[in-house]
Amino acid sequence: MSEHLHNHDELDTNPETEEQTIEKNGTVSDVTTDVPVSDTVIDVTPSRVVVNNEVPVADTNNSGASNPGVVGEAHSATQAEPSIEELLAGKKSSSGNNGNGGGNVPPQPPHQAPKKSGNGKSFLFGLLGGLSGALVIVLCAALIFGTLGFMNAGSGTPTNGNGVSISGKVEIETDLTAAVEKVQSAVVQVVTYDAATSNTMFGGNSSSGELEESGSGSGVVYKSEGNDAYVVTNNHVVDGAKKVKVVFAGGAESEATVVGTDSVQDLAVLKIDNEHVTTVATFGDSEALKLGEPVAAIGSPLGSEYFGTVTQGIISGKERTLETDNAEITVLQTDAAINPGNSGGALINMAGQVIGINSAKISTEYAEGMAFSIPSNTVVDAISVLETGQTIERPYLGIQGIAIEDLSASQRQQLNIPDSVTSGIYIAEVNSGSAAASAGVQKGDIITSIDGKDVGTVTQLKTVLNTKKKGDKVTVEYFRNGNKQSTEVTLNQVQ
């Protein structure tokens, strides 16, 4: 999926101020995939319930879905090619995809074996059947009138007074039930509120100043200290909320303060009074997970009515990539059912440890059971910073640019980009005093890799930089006037 700059923003601008795409389940970005039947856009849906129908329903017919295309591609006879300035401003063209793929096979009725014609044995079978039927009737009558005493009380099996036996209480405990019991009380519902609005007589909206419930997700209590407790959830669950409330099993409530958020990793930390906290979750090692390992998701899909819902699945993938406006994030894939309202809830292993924070799912007629969770190791690193009220600092180069793949042939010619350079980031501007400027990077250079990792899109560039910290030195490879060069850049500035 090609990336572009928005309004001439600095290429690696502060991710905290950019619109968050993973919020789009309620609001996560579209992931494009090739399906043999037709081109299809898959909605990666954040699992947050939004009140007032703010969450778009998955468009299984892909009507109006956008299938990002190469800039300059002929989409229609009347569509004009955007200018380079428009590309830098984020006005890249895209091709529509309105087909539904067709070819759906309707459900088939169950197969019914053909009836065989009668033969000479039918009379004998009919006679035996009649005798056996009469015997059944006699036995039933005997039971009804109590003539068969051995079926009544006294046999040691409880009955309901009508002769129906009732089994005693059966205690069943499995690895799953034991794991759920350890952590279920630490999983809470997170409810958000926004300003109430009403329609005006002129067709607009007005705010009354009062707050109304605007959405809900899930969260996990992971720490209790003094009179306070801390809850981790998704950033897209609480983003923009005027008020946040945490609801516990049993209905107890606590007002929450958002103390830290990170839109890149889609995480947020809430602080609450620990009056109603009875259980604190523990984190497991997400790196130690194995493919096929059983897991369970706990949360409140579709709101409070289904509070504490448990679904079971396995680890389907360990290093999947989801693309957001800010970067590509590495997530766990599971087939445990995750639905709107599960966002921020726990994905646990059979030891009752939280090994992921549920975040999104793929919603399309071509796929089922594909949900994603932020790995616990990523979560632990992030919340240790966010709970202190600090932001997660990420270094940046200090450039503005555009992906080569987003340029048409005429635009490449206009910018003097050699035909031999097929991928990279064209630098349209270098900020004065930035890390890139200090290393000698110039306008017109084309960055192709950082520390040996290819960067063909803005998203890939940000993803690499997000793994670094202030003071790190990185090797930047680039083309200048058709010649490949490299330089060492010290990342001395953070956002």
Residues assigned a catalytic role: 236, 266, 343
Distance CA 401, CA 12 (A): 10
Report angle CA 184, 188, 194 to the nearest 5 degrees: 165
List all residues 6 or more positions away from 492 whose beta carbon is below 8 Å from its beta carbon: 395, 435, 438, 470, 471
| φ/ψ bin of 390: left (φ > 0), alpha (ψ from -120 to 50), beta (otherwise) | beta
DSSP string computed for 3-72 = ---STT--TT--TTTSPPSGGGGTTPPEEEEE-SSSEEEEEEEE--EEGGGTSPPP-TT-TTEEEE--TT
Report angle CA 109, 111, 117 to the nearest 5 degrees: 130
Sequence letter at residue 345 = G
Name the residue with tokens 């306008």: 443
Burial class (CB in 10 A: 0-12, 13-18, 19+), 132: exposed
Closest CA to 412 of 460, 479, 459: 479
